[in-house]
Each structure stands twice: as C-alpha cells, then as structure tokens.
Amino acid sequence: MKSKRFLATLRVLGWMAFFFLLSAPAIILADQDHSNSFVIRGARVFDGHKVIGQADVWVDSGKIKAVGKSLKVPSNVRAIGAAGDTLLPGLIDAHTHAWGDALKEAEIFGVTTELDMFTSLQFMQPTKKHQAEGKDLDQADLFSAGSLATAPGGHGTEYGIPVPTLTSPSEAQAWVDARIAEGSDYIKIIVDDASAYGSHRPTLSIETVKALIDAAHKRGKLVVVHIARQQDARDVINAGADGLAHLFSDSAPGPDFASLAAAHHVFIVPTLTVLEGVDGVASGESLTTDSRLAPYLTADDIRNLKSSFPKSPTGLSEKYAEQTVAQLKAAHVPILAGTDSPNPGTAHGASIHRELELLVRSGLTPPEALASATSVPAAAFHLADRGVIAPGKRADLLLVKGDPTEDITATRDIVSVWKLGVEDDRASYRASLEKARQEAAKAAQAAPPADSAMGLISDFDDGTATTKFGTGWMVSTDSIAGGKSTGEMKVVEGGANGDKHALDITGAIDGGLPYAWAGVMWSPGSQPFVPVNLSSKKSISFFAKGDGQTYRVLFFTESGGRMPSQQTFTAGSDWKKVSLPFSAFNGTDGHDISAILFVGGPAAGKFDFQIDEIKLE
C-alpha cells in the first residue's frame, strides 16, 4: 500500500530471482500423488456460503462431481475419511502482489487463488500461460491487474519498473485497451496523493479516474481502486469503481459510508492485516509462533511477518477500518479477504489466516469471514468455477481439523489442500524447510574456513581474480532476474598502495529494473551461497577508486534470506580505503555470510570502478 512497502517488496522480487537462480533451490517438491479422483467422506462441509453439515464430496478428474450424504461411488474411487474435519473451498486472497515463490507459498496455506493487484508482466504473462495449460498445480491460480493506472510521478512509478502513466481522460480508453492486450484480468487504479502519510505525490484527477472506469466497463472489465483516505473512497465510489483495494485508515467512517457503498454495489477488500502496520503493529507476528503455521514458514516469511513500519505520524489507524467493516457488514456490502502480501507484516498464504481473524474481530461471524475468502470474492470477480463446493466446480479444496465456523483460527490447522483435485505435497515442503533450518543452524556453529584467519580475500597481485579463500570473484548481473545490465571484470596494473594489480569492474546498468545491478560476487564457502561463519572478524575493508559514482557492497547472509543488505561507497579518482563494520549490514555478526558483492546500480548508466586489498578485519 504505502510507497516504501512497495519499494521494499519490489526489491525483494529481484533478489529472490537472483538467489534462486544462483543457488540450489531450498525447496524441492517431491513427486505428488496425481490421482485427482477421490471421495472425501464425512467432513463438516462449509460450501462457501454456509455449513451444510456432514457430507461426502466426490471429486472426479479435478472437478466436484457430487456432494451429499453417504454418496455411492464406484468401488475403485479412493476414499478419504474426514470425520471431525471441516472441508472448505480453497481460499481466495483478493489483494496480493505475486512474484517469486508467492503462489507456491500461498497454496501451502490453503490459498488456491490469488487476485494480484500489480506485478510485473515478466511474472504475470508466463504464469498465466502455464496456468492455462493446466501446469503448476502446486501453486495458487493467478488473476492479475498487471500494471496500474497512475499519474506521472504517482504512486507505483517510484520503483524503476516502467509504468505507463496517463494525465487526461482522453488517454483512458487506449490505456485500458493496452492493459487488456497485455493480459490484465481487471484494472487497478491508484488514487493517493500521499497526504494520508504526511507526504505528497501526484495522483490522477477524478475526471481521469472516471474515464478509466468507463473505458474498462466498456470492455467488460472490473475496476479496483487503491485509496488511503475516506474522501477518496467516496469519490471513486461515486465515479463508478467496482471495488476498493483497501479500506481507508484516516478517519472513522461517516454514518452514510456503508449506505453509499451499498447503493453503488461496490465490494470492499479491507486488507486489515496490512493496515495494522500504520499502528506500528507487526500484524503477522502471532502467526510465526502458531505451531499450526510456523513449520511451513520460510525464514523470509518469518522475518517479514515480524516486521512493521513505524507508527503513522498522521494518526492513521487500522481501528477505523475495523469500524468501517462493521458498518459495511450491517449494510450487506460484500467484504473480501485480502492481505496485500508481501508487504511488511504479511506473507503469502499465511496472512489470509490473520485477515480472517481480524475480520472476525471487526464483527463478521466466522462463516461470514470464511465466505469473504471463498464465495464472496468468486462472485465479485466473476470467477464462476470456484469459491463454492458444488457439482461442476473446480476441486480447489481445503480440509482443516476442527471447526473454523466456530473458531476462525481452525483454518490454520490444515490437513490437506487440493488444486484441481491434486493434493499439495505439504509434508515434503515442511521437511525441506526443516532441513534448511538445520543447515543454517549448523553453519552458524561451524568453524571458519581454513585460510580465513588472516582475513585477506584478494590483493590481485598474482595477476588473477582468485581469492585466498572461498570462491574466486565472478561477474554477477541482473540478467539472471530478467534485467539487461552488463558487467565485466579484469585484473589491471596499478593497485592501491603502489602494489601491482587491482580488479577493474565496468559495465552498464539498465534502468528497466528497480533493483538493477552489475558487478562482482564472492562467496566465502567452497560453493556460491554456502554460508560460512566469519564472526571472528568484525568488518570488511577495501580500497576503491573509479569514475566518481556511488557503488554498493551487498551482503547476503543465511538468516537474512534472499534480501541482501547494502552499504554504499564513492569511488573517486584516487585510491581510498573504505571500512565497513559487519553490523552496518542489517546488524549481522558475520556468523552466516553467504556472499559479498561489489556492484553498480540501481541508477542507470555506464560505470567503472576498481577494488583492491579486500580484507576482513
């Protein structure tokens, strides 16, 4: 929602791709039981609208064939006993930003459909193609807005990803047509001048918003609008928006807000879990200690769930949104569960369970909350094949222990998740995370590598880019994450302090990615990205010179996951020593360093710098 959050998450996107392509993936799913015909016997069935009591659900070739008491099925159909459990439609998260492993993680936690509200085309297009081909059944289905409509310099443009902006109503139809050509399932508009956060950004005029809405409706597409203030919510509802992508947190709802929403037949995705951040609350922290969820959370998820932005200085509060939810419920306005994952305080999949809890805290009954993540979003987004348990629907199903229609947190006690009748292999996923945790713990205890005691990594004085320990230097660029930055390295004459050689790093940063990089990488272990305990050292020092631009040192640590921490330095015309304490890199003590990079970017353009006498001290 807020710009800083988006910035952080978009950066994660790039680093995730980077990390995953360079290292052995931490998560390897085993072969699954691909039989997508079976009968689930005796579960309490919540059909998307209400509890229909104990029933059998027969799944045939990925679709629900029949629902009823004591169903007669052919004897070769596998039966799954589920007495005491509750069967629900697979959950739908109506506000996410999907990339990397988002959709896999979502499905692990019972979310079988994500409604994305802005991602890159590089992610959306191939994902939707695979989905249409019936592939990737171990990840949630994706529906996406693709890009978003915003003013030049408006929210959404600050990340470096090219966003096609517009300034006048006359551009609206062409803008909408272009999104539809790209594959957008619906249109997302930003109306947010940042005043809610005590800042300022350009935003679209209400005339342009109305023209976009009309243009989308002309093409039969829904329009969802991001707002932060109540007045904007009212304005876009009056302009004909189909739904709000957040509730406002700047004020208590006026007494007529819900009746306005009801009169205009809008649906609302409150995103309470991300709004808690404005109260300085790490909304997802409680999920990390819930034994029903924790074994399935990656180290990254846990870190993100525990994070939050500082309390809003402008008096924003999630409590206003909860008050509004209660008012909307009374007015029968459709309320959709959405998380805005992966913003701080959230994680794909896991956070839907927090959102359901917060919706109940706001006054929804548990069955109403369950409907907000199943039949209600399916109806609002015209997804006729899902969100309910009924003959002919997709067998996207969630089986949980206990009764979430009484205790909403029972949705966390997952027995099985199926997409199109294929069961997600949660056991293998859990085992792979456990293995990764054990390896990280082991690495933290390990002795430092031989030859690291002196601390010297490279002085290049043998005329090569080899190193005293760990891997040699290697070129690293964002091409691995779809970028077009280029880089080269070579050992050149004339090192720091009059020694013989230094490493020269040149290249060009392409402005197409918000996290663009190019430069060189070194890992302290025998293989790239194997973490090594270097906690006997306290800092990294090196000499640098160059074209006068600012460069970055990136640290990857095992506990820091896929997101590097960084420090900058300036490479001027004369050799200068730079010394950076480990603690400057997100507080690390160096016990699990997995890679160190010297790179240019993210600013676009050519670069040239040299490094020498790189030491840990």
Q: Which residues bind Zn ion (CB under 5 A)?
A: 117, 340
- Output 224 or 237, the one with its CB closest to Zn ion: 224
Cβ–Cβ < 8 Å for 107, 424: yes
- Output 6 or 429, the one with its CB closest to Zn ion: 6
Give the nearest residue (CB) to Zn ion.
340
| Least Å from the CB of residue 150 to Zn ion | 13
| Least Å from the CB of residue 97 to Zn ion | 6
Cβ–Cβ < 8 Å for 156, 190: yes
- Output 117 or 380, the one with its CB closest to Zn ion: 117
CA nearest neighbour of 574 among 491, 488, 464, 497: 497
- CA distances for 89 relative to 12, 367, 393, angstroms: 31, 12, 10
- Output 117 or 268, the one with its CB closest to Zn ion: 117
- Output 340 or 368, the one with its CB closest to Zn ion: 340
Write the DSSP string, 527-555. Answer: STT--B--TT--EEEEEEEESS-EEEEEE
Write the DSSP string, 473-490. Answer: -EEEEGGGGT---EEEEE
- Output 102 or 443, the one with its CB closest to Zn ion: 102
- Output 39 or 272, the one with its CB closest to Zn ion: 272
- Output 67 or 204, the one with its CB closest to Zn ion: 204
Gap between the Cα atoms of 103 and 29, Å rounded = 14
CA nearest neighbour of 138 among 417, 522, 552: 417
- Output 112 or 273, the one with its CB closest to Zn ion: 273
> What φ, ψ does residue 244 adopt, rounded to 5°?
-105, 135
The amino acid occupying position 158 is: E
| Least Å from the CB of residue 9 to Zn ion | 9
| Least Å from the CB of residue 19 to Zn ion | 23
> What φ, ψ does residue 584 adopt, rounded to 5°?
-70, -20
| Least Å from the CB of residue 163 to Zn ion | 14
| Least Å from the CB of residue 174 to Zn ion | 25
Write the DSSP string, 391-458. Answer: TTSB--EEEEES-TTTSGGGGGSEEEEEETTEEP-HHHHHHHHHHHHHHHHHHHHSPPPTT-TT-EEE
Under DSSP, is residue 112 helix (H, G, I), strand (E, B) or coil?
strand
| Least Å from the CB of residue 368 to Zn ion | 23
Cβ–Cβ < 8 Å for 566, 414: no
**Which distant-in-sequence residues (6+ apart) come within 8 Å of 72 by Cβ?**
none
How many CA atoms, within 13 angstroms, populate the side-chain half-sphere of residue 483?
31
| Least Å from the CB of residue 199 to Zn ion | 17
| Least Å from the CB of residue 274 to Zn ion | 7
| Least Å from the CB of residue 543 to Zn ion | 43
Cβ–Cβ < 8 Å for 337, 352: yes
- Output 154 or 487, the one with its CB closest to Zn ion: 154
CA nearest neighbour of 374 among 119, 39, 41, 51: 51
Gap between the Cα atoms of 198 and 250, Å rounded = 11
Gap between the Cα atoms of 15 and 357, Å rounded = 31
CA nearest neighbour of 517 among 472, 452, 470, 564: 564
| Least Å from the CB of residue 95 to Zn ion | 6
- Output 269 or 389, the one with its CB closest to Zn ion: 269
